[in-house]
Structure 1
């Protein structure tokens, strides 16, 4: 018995049955229940995966935001992932956090998945390898990883009820495989169950998945927790092996579990098994030295900023550079920066992954800094807007004392004249029950409010100084849960109290914001902005404790035609145009799948007209997952930037100006059209059938499907260019051992003129298989750094899984006797070397 198991058993022996039951559900949103009389402390959790938010959605302590997972996955760099994990561990320690709710390794079945940006890849090996490095880095700091969402949680539509109908073979080879790799190679201390059902059973109460597969087959020793509000049974979840219900207070345990015990639907030993796992995680928390109920702080050092910048640059994928326009040189004197994603910093996707960054660098800021170094002039214009909601007010607001943000006041009774311009309120408002400054204009008040002073039903005033950064007419918009009014310099400009908008019960899927246009605002002039909210129609209906949501945004109102004309004029008079387009955290977010792959608004028209005006245009697309690119044949220079975190602007500029030679490779296939995607049409609200989604593509996910159908994608899996060129040679494949191990060796030479890094990918084919298989599957990769003219020998070691498939008839993995093809390439479609090796005798196994 390991020492942690002995410690957990010793603590368990001190607890009575009610205390054990108490351990099995959370304390509020981010803590576990303590049992002080037995020395059991309260552990702290925090959302990830690209940062550490801490204990508050509302008024949280700022944090470092790393590139979204598809960006980190595009680096194909396990050493970088390990460093990112370490940095996240340091941030957790600064926030007194014991458990990070990350990483995410769900498979991107479709480009439309709302949380697709949270996972590393469509390929289970790349997904699991990057996740393992991330986990090892994080846990080296004493912080528990929580790999999620176990399993087949691959869409947002009806995510709490939908049944993912998937074959056992596809489940094993594709969807469970990244979790299995992480358990084997990184030993995560916790796993989070998915909201959905798998083949009819909710995962949080699926004994086969949680006990038979996870614990017995794979030997997982850690704790299993639910996703938030993801427990739907009392007896079922306990018997299945779900240890912890989150968040608290409990809905399915507590008194309900006591009653189940009386009825002997569960037994005391069932409670002991679950409580022991919670205490086992507590042992890790104790060993970490991280304080319990400690303060929350931020980390901001030169070393961390450099890591953020490196990660941002390494997440960029160069897709086209046909004219050799990049890298930009000091010969470039006039640069036009254009596009809806240029001025704001789109650091991450939306939902639980989003956080308040310690600082941000936008693409425009990054280009301005780089251009100054080479003596180039930069002009900016938006060209076209692409927002779903108006961009947040954050960079344009300050409190009355000059500090960033706004001031909020809460009343437990409706103040006289609160909703109108009544002097009774404006001149002598009553003292609020509680007040606080806030840094942002997206206030999700499920936490961070002093509940000892503020009732669930309350009246809220948000006050700030709004200072436009451009002259002109401005669109201002708000979204509130409940009734509300917006005042500018004391006058109502938006009335949401006469006919309040419909109440949205879920904060991740707000209805469209209500907007107005205010004419003739002046850049640099401060205007008094107030938003007043009456949440009395919302709070009683909320499915969890929440004081409501306030989201406010603004943007200079532009005539669409005039905006494109200005962009074209800027492009024509410049040596180079840098056009930054894409999606943002409103379009790609937890809670909503995308309706289509299209870029929003007039983006496509803007791109085509700017390209016509200046062929020396660099198009940068920023999105977490693939988008439609109808102008792909018109553009000569194209980059995919994903969501780059704090340093996204500097990382992008480093690639554009040649400080960093791009080395990213696409971790997921970009299709020419949505209909080509293997999950089409069995995805989302258009694909569901009586509460089910059929995974009709089986094992043929991503590039596996495009190749078997002989269907060319827009850009293949693993594709990415460099400013260097690389030559492959001297392939050698060792014989396969009786247990399935073999090695692939080859040489890579940098034939270019500058230092570069190449991601060499090793694929294996099984042309003699007794069951249908993909034409080839990624089984290994390595990233090699080379000086100009330098050559290195590379060795990639592979194991039995490189040969195998899962035979659901026998419930086991099979490596069949025969010859296997070994293919080494720069992408799934660019194979440079081919060889083969032979397995002399078939063998099978279960478990790891």
Structure 2
């Protein structure tokens, strides 16, 4: 190869460039024509992102920069030990845009476990459409969602980002989400491919899983979504799969995922031959035609990732492409044809972006309309699951005149989980706000007390602060040199005049991780900051303040030192392991309504010297709340309860147990003892234990519900919405009952490996095979009405595995309601062990009192088959299958038998 082969050359003339732009921007984007115009350096350039949220542009070839976005902002709760950029990823809460710091606010939708609990494909499609509208408003061409990793353990720090423990429900809900999103011209990015279900050593750990479990449990939701919704992009996982990083695993990214590209008679020959010899390297199983990108800094090789099928390395600048890729071509470890295959996928995604009509490098705006608010509210209400209602305490109609709301998550809206799943919401309605509004309509009085603390960090100061100008939020000022000699000290001279700041910006939140959004033309990476605000407490008493920072800082209230993080600040987990621990103190005797001057003086000099794996100006998280005496607060809550008639999950770390934090369980028990007419509302993204469950007569599971959490919850509690959610994952009585108990996280790792010892028996499959009763089973959820099932019939199974089941559902109660009918299948005799039952279909039926509807549901070979790992194909064996129609995985209402007369096998979709 000559050196000139790597040069950019003169490029096309200006007149050709102008003509190209006029044609490509007004007609269908020409992938092959554009590819032919690109020099090799520009092709290589396109295989890495431009910063965190854009692809590279090549102006001389008419290639604009696409914008990508996930739905989240970072959290101080993350714990990254790996020296890489952790500035992404997560599930489908919303559309953040291109900035972590001071970004444009977004609608926050319920977390994925909440959407999964709806079992409602129509609702989830509407959510996808709404996210498409949000993406278009943000100028976003590619949304980095949804997440469909199987929830194999309740301890998973990001479990709430996936829809379910069951692959069929997971993939079906994901398909609806993708179809809704892409109907708006916005590309979905299904992720994280594959077996990425824990945070412990997530960049290096090897998920060691059997081929059969990989196929039936972990790959299956991806397979279903690709078959039913055709996502335009896919993101690889950080981890290894059976020893090899997913981003450089050719078998995963090419042999299983991709489609064959041979045409004509040879293609049909290879397709025929591959059926005879499964696993043939010439056969690609799923036919995925979209782009494959890495998770952020999830690339670990140059040649291997290119050959495996990884098209786009994110983010930029490149770690493993660029010059390294040029060198690999010179050494003929790679060839021009290898690069063209990868570039073609980038251009094909760009073709979708052109067709969408979304401007390139457009402005970012919020979406906050009556229609979007109603979608948010409906999604929040439909995410809620009624677990117990023994005494018919719910709904709270005219019977309740005095209502006491108790609990830390009531006053502060927990709209999403932690880590990068957190989102700067356009607005939020707390449970307390929603309940007060609903109670007012029925003339009920509402009293609130916290009862016990369950926060890992103190709630943000946001509700209590205003900028010096009187607007919400705080003001941040920047200097490139300390404005006075003792600027960051425990006793600065507040009378000493400060030099004028070189730049300043307001921000709406007291939680800022400044990786972007800073005017780099004025502010150096090493700088000094001052954050000022007016703080107004809403209660008399002693207040706790909490502070964690990336840098050195001191917090002052009315010019008195409150927290010292300038003198040997302790290293902690905040800001992806780059910041301090969360230091807390108590300020005594604050008065409600009195205005206090709040000032934080911060230097990031030591932070900058110590070094960050990515560009960052520092970070701040300030929280506060009235100090709570544990036993005293519980006593107060109990006294209020007697007079009445009537929240830890995040990217970056896994949970250590499934217990409720702090004194929460004690609080619940004592309140239940004081007043049995208590409704317990649990808010979590994944299962928790409930040691007080026998004493509780009414229990509601509220997942992270997004902006309209409070109103959605109140709609259910007060009967405006009849609850219809079903649990998308099994709630165990104790952690030890979980099928993955012995092989998860730090406890389960063996020399950098996690052994998936439970095999295919994940979730309810594992509980049933071991005959262990859960706290609440998969698919469980009550209603304010009752349903009766009858007349189950099945057609005969066709030779290719298709058959139809029909049955009736009747609402035998006195209120309108929706029922999720679940269809499970059991293979009565098989050559390999199979689960007791497997979910293979579901339908949500809306019925008026006394109404009956006939349900028809078509099943296919997926309902019958399993993966034969020795023969390397799917097989449906001849014999009798039991079809069950159920209200949950343990509440079987109807059964029938069907017979497959002759076995058959298949590969691919």
TM-score, normalised relative to structure 1: 0.97
Question: What displacement does 1:634 show?
Answer: 0.7
Question: What displacement does 1:532 show?
Answer: 1.7
Equivalent residue, structure 1, for 2:721: 660
2:425 to 352, 357, 363: 357
Are residues 1:175 and 2:208 paired? no
Q: Tell me the distance in 2 between the aligned counterparts of 1:10 and 1:743.
A: 48
Question: What displacement does 1:735 show?
Answer: 0.6
Are residues 1:348 and 2:412 paired? no
Equivalent residue, structure 1, for 2:74: none
Q: Would you say the 8 A contact 1:475–1:517 is kept in 2? A: yes
Equivalent residue, structure 2, for 1:106: 149
Are residues 1:11 and 2:34 paired? yes
Question: What displacement does 1:426 show?
Answer: 5.0
Q: Would you say the 8 A contact 2:551–2:579 is kept in 1? A: no
Question: What displacement does 1:431 show?
Answer: 2.4
Cα offsets for 1:309-335 (capped at 9, x unmatched): 110000000000000010111121100
Counterpart secondary structure, 1:553: strand
Q: Tell me the distance in 2 between the aligned counterparts of 1:11 and 1:571.
A: 70
Q: Tell me the distance in 2 between the aligned counterparts of 1:493 and 1:65.
A: 33
My pick for the range that moved more, 464-473 or 667-676, is 464-473
For 1:242-261, what aligned pairs fall within 5 Å after superposition?
Answer: 242-261=310-329
Equivalent residue, structure 2, for 1:611: 672
Equivalent residue, structure 2, for 1:575: 645
Equivalent residue, structure 2, for 1:95: 138
Equivalent residue, structure 1, for 2:591: 522
Question: What displacement does 1:353 show?
Answer: 1.9
2:747 to 686, 696, 712: 686
Counterpart secondary structure, 1:748: strand
For 1:53-202, what aligned pairs fall within 5 Å after superposition?
Answer: 53-202=96-245
Counterpart secondary structure, 2:722: coil
Are residues 1:473 and 2:542 paired? yes
Equivalent residue, structure 2, for 1:744: 805
Are residues 1:444 and 2:467 paired? no
Cα offsets for 1:51-97 (capped at 9, x unmatched): 00111111111100010000000000000000000000000001001
Q: Would you say the 8 A contact 2:548–2:574 is kept in 1? A: no
Q: Tell me the distance in 2 between the aligned counterparts of 1:6 and 1:683.
A: 47
Question: What displacement does 1:537 show?
Answer: 2.1
Question: What displacement does 1:548 show?
Answer: 1.9
Q: Would you say the 8 A contact 1:509–1:591 is kept in 2? A: no
Equivalent residue, structure 2, for 1:418: 487
Q: Tell me the distance in 1 between the aligned counterparts of 2:494 and 2:406.
A: 45
Cα offsets for 1:308-365 (capped at 9, x unmatched): 1110000000000000010111121100000011100000011222111101000000
1:562 to 591, 608, 632: 632
Counterpart secondary structure, 2:344: helix
Equivalent residue, structure 2, for 1:33: 56
Are residues 1:387 and 2:455 paired? yes
Counterpart secondary structure, 1:794: strand
Are residues 1:486 and 2:555 paired? yes
Change over 3 Å in CA distance of 1:503–1:762 after alignment to 2 = closer
Q: Tell me the distance in 1 between the aligned counterparts of 2:292 and 2:57.
A: 18
Change over 3 Å in CA distance of 1:506–1:270 after alignment to 2 = farther
Q: Would you say the 8 A contact 1:389–1:513 is kept in 2? A: yes
Equivalent residue, structure 1, for 2:274: none
Q: Tell me the distance in 1 between the aligned counterparts of 2:399 and 2:701.
A: 25
For 1:293-308, what aligned pairs fall within 5 Å after superposition?
Answer: 293-308=361-376
Q: Tell me the distance in 2 between the aligned counterparts of 1:617 and 1:415.
A: 57
Counterpart secondary structure, 2:253: helix
2:43 to 20, 24, 29: 20
My pick for the range that moved more, 498-507 or 305-314, is 498-507
User: What are structure 2's unaligned runs of at least 5 residues?
Assistant: 1-25, 72-91, 259-283
1:699 to 760, 767, 771: 760
Equivalent residue, structure 2, for 1:309: 377
Cα offsets for 1:247-279 (capped at 9, x unmatched): 111111111111111111111111111111111
Equivalent residue, structure 1, for 2:603: 534
My pick for the range that moved more, 783-792 or 531-540, is 531-540
My pick for the range that moved more, 366-375 or 346-355, is 346-355
Q: Would you say the 8 A contact 1:418–1:425 is kept in 2? A: no
Q: Tell me the distance in 1 between the aligned counterparts of 2:858 and 2:524.
A: 60
Question: What displacement does 1:432 show?
Answer: 2.4
Counterpart secondary structure, 1:319: strand
2:826 to 765, 768, 772: 765
Q: Tell me the distance in 1 between the aligned counterparts of 2:519 and 2:199.
A: 32
Question: What displacement does 1:511 show?
Answer: 5.7
Change over 3 Å in CA distance of 1:376–1:826 after alignment to 2 = same
Q: Would you say the 8 A contact 1:468–1:522 is kept in 2? A: yes
Question: What displacement does 1:107 show?
Answer: 0.7
For 1:253-292, what aligned pairs fall within 5 Å after superposition?
Answer: 253-292=321-360
TM-score, normalised relative to structure 2: 0.91
Counterpart secondary structure, 1:550: strand
1:335 to 396, 403, 422: 403
Q: Would you say the 8 A contact 1:505–1:543 is kept in 2? A: no
Equivalent residue, structure 2, for 1:755: 816
**Once superposed, what is the RMSD of the aligned Cα atoms?**
1.4
Change over 3 Å in CA distance of 1:777–1:509 after alignment to 2 = farther
Q: Tell me the distance in 2 between the aligned counterparts of 1:504 and 1:343.
A: 26
Equivalent residue, structure 2, for 1:579: none
Change over 3 Å in CA distance of 1:506–1:405 after alignment to 2 = closer
Counterpart secondary structure, 2:57: coil
Equivalent residue, structure 2, for 1:580: none
My pick for the range that moved more, 387-396 or 82-91, is 387-396
Counterpart secondary structure, 1:290: coil
Counterpart secondary structure, 1:464: strand
Are residues 1:501 and 2:570 paired? yes
Cα offsets for 1:374-393 (capped at 9, x unmatched): 00000000000111111111
Cα offsets for 1:139-164 (capped at 9, x unmatched): 00000000000000000000000000
Question: What displacement does 1:459 show?
Answer: 1.5
Q: Would you say the 8 A contact 1:503–1:538 is kept in 2? A: no
User: What are structure 1's unaligned runs of at least 5 residues?
Assistant: 577-582
Change over 3 Å in CA distance of 1:503–1:38 after alignment to 2 = farther
Q: Would you say the 8 A contact 1:619–1:639 is kept in 2? A: yes
Are residues 1:429 and 2:472 paired? no
Question: What displacement does 1:510 show?
Answer: 6.1
Counterpart secondary structure, 1:570: helix
Question: What displacement does 1:539 show?
Answer: 2.6
Change over 3 Å in CA distance of 1:426–1:85 after alignment to 2 = farther
Q: Tell me the distance in 2 between the aligned counterparts of 1:602 and 1:118.
A: 27
Change over 3 Å in CA distance of 1:511–1:713 after alignment to 2 = farther
Q: Would you say the 8 A contact 1:482–1:501 is kept in 2? A: no
Q: Would you say the 8 A contact 1:483–1:501 is kept in 2? A: no
Q: Tell me the distance in 2 between the aligned counterparts of 1:187 and 1:346.
A: 33
Q: Tell me the distance in 2 between the aligned counterparts of 1:828 and 1:426.
A: 69
Equivalent residue, structure 1, for 2:464: 396
1:463 to 521, 532, 549: 532
Question: What displacement does 1:495 show?
Answer: 1.0
Q: Would you say the 8 A contact 1:5–1:280 is kept in 2? A: no
Q: Tell me the distance in 2 between the aligned counterparts of 1:652 and 1:663.
A: 13
Q: Tell me the distance in 2 between the aligned counterparts of 1:819 and 1:222.
A: 39
Q: Tell me the distance in 1 between the aligned counterparts of 2:516 and 2:798.
A: 56
Counterpart secondary structure, 2:747: helix
Counterpart secondary structure, 2:223: helix
Q: Tell me the distance in 2 between the aligned counterparts of 1:133 and 1:539.
A: 45
Question: What displacement does 1:415 show?
Answer: 2.6
Question: What displacement does 1:422 show?
Answer: 6.4
Counterpart secondary structure, 1:552: strand
1:645 to 662, 684, 706: 706
Question: What displacement does 1:453 show?
Answer: 2.2
Q: Tell me the distance in 2 between the aligned counterparts of 1:138 and 1:653.
A: 28
